[in-house]
Amino acid sequence: MNPTAAGGAQGGMVGSGAMGRGPRDRDIGAAITVVKGNHKGYNGIIKDINGTLARVELNTGNKVITIEKQKLYRRT
């Protein structure tokens, strides 16, 4: 029987849809300010986290840097 003619549930792959679990870390996507190091005073957004390191996309020039999380301040 044709699934679309059955009038029931829509077909698709198992587990498809908007069932994502979200980012691996709650800080991903957070707006930050660098408070220590060479990039002190720069603003950016956390793109990825790997242990104690964070990859941050700076607002100036869209440059991505890797920096320790302890050198960042999360803006609200």
Full set of structural domains in the chain with CATH? 31-74 (2.30.30.30)
Predicted TM-score of the model (pTM): 0.69
Q: Is 46 exposed, middle or buried (0-12, 13-18, 19+ CB in 10 A)?
A: buried
* Alpha-carbon distance values, 24 to 21, 48, 51, 54 (Å): 8, 9, 11, 12
For residue 61, the model assigns a pLDDT of 86
DSSP, residue by residue, 16-44: -SS-----SSTTTT-EEEE-SSTTTT-EE
C-alpha gyration radius of the chain: 20
At 24, the pLDDT band (50, 70, 90 cuts) reads confident
Q: What digits encode the pLDDT tens for the residues 27-58?
A: 999 999 999 999 999 999 999 999 999 999 99
For residue 16, the model assigns a pLDDT of 54
Q: What digits encode the pLDDT tens for the residues 4-22?
A: 666 655 655 665 555 666 6
Is 55 in a helix, a strand, or coil? strand
